Amino acid sequence: MKHFTVPRFATAACAGCALLLAACSQQPARPTSSAPAQTHHHVHHLSSAAETAPTPLPSRTGIPVCDAYLSTYIACHRAANIFAPDQLQSRYETMRDSLLRDSQDPDIRPQLANRCESLQQSLHEALHGKSCDAPLPMPSSSSH
C-alpha cells in the first residue's frame, strides 16, 4: 500500500487546480460582457421609475432653523422686496421643495442647518431692519 505524503498531495492538488483554471480561461467571455449591459439596463429602469413616481416630501424638514426660515419666507421676502410679487410663490415652492428633499438625504442633512442659517442671515440683511410683518405698500392711485 502506497502512502501519499502531504507535499506530493499538495503538489498534485495545485496542479489539478491549475489545469481547471486553464480550462476555464478558454471559455468565451460572453457572460462578462453581458453583465454591464444588464447592470446598465437595471440602473436605467430604476431612474425612469424614480422619474415617474416621485417620493412624496414631508411637510417639515425637522430642522428647526429650516422650518422657521420656510415659515417666514413669503412674508420676509415680500417685506424685503427681493422678488416680484408674481414670482414669490413659485420661488417659495422651489426653495421649500429643495430644503424638504435635502432633509431626506442622509449625505446632505448634516449640513442643512448651516445652509438655512446662512439663508436666514442673508434675508435678515436684505430686510435692512424692516419687520417681516410690515404691511404691504398700497398701490398708488391716480384717481385724485
Q: Do the beta carbons of residue 60 and residue 73 sit within 8 Å? A: no
Encode pLDDT of 32-52 as tens digits.
Answer: 444 444 444 444 444 444 455
Q: Is residue 6 part of a domain?
A: no
Domain carrying residue 104: 64-127
Q: What is the pLDDT along the chain (144 residues), one digit of tens a residue?
A: 555 555 555 555 544 444 444 444 444 544 444 444 444 444 444 444 445 567 799 999 999 999 999 999 999 999 999 999 999 999 999 999 999 999 999 999 999 999 999 999 999 999 999 999 855 555 444 444
* pTM of the complete model: 0.57
Q: Is residue 73 part of a domain?
A: yes
In angstroms, the CA 106 to CA 110 distance is 7
Q: What is the pLDDT of residue 3?
A: 55
Cell numbers representing residue 85 in the block: 410679487
Q: Is residue 99 part of a domain?
A: yes
Q: Is residue 47 part of a domain?
A: no
Q: Is residue 101 part of a domain?
A: yes
In angstroms, the CA 127 to CA 123 distance is 6
Give kind and range of the element (H or E) at residue 15: helix 6-25
- What domain count does the chain have? 1
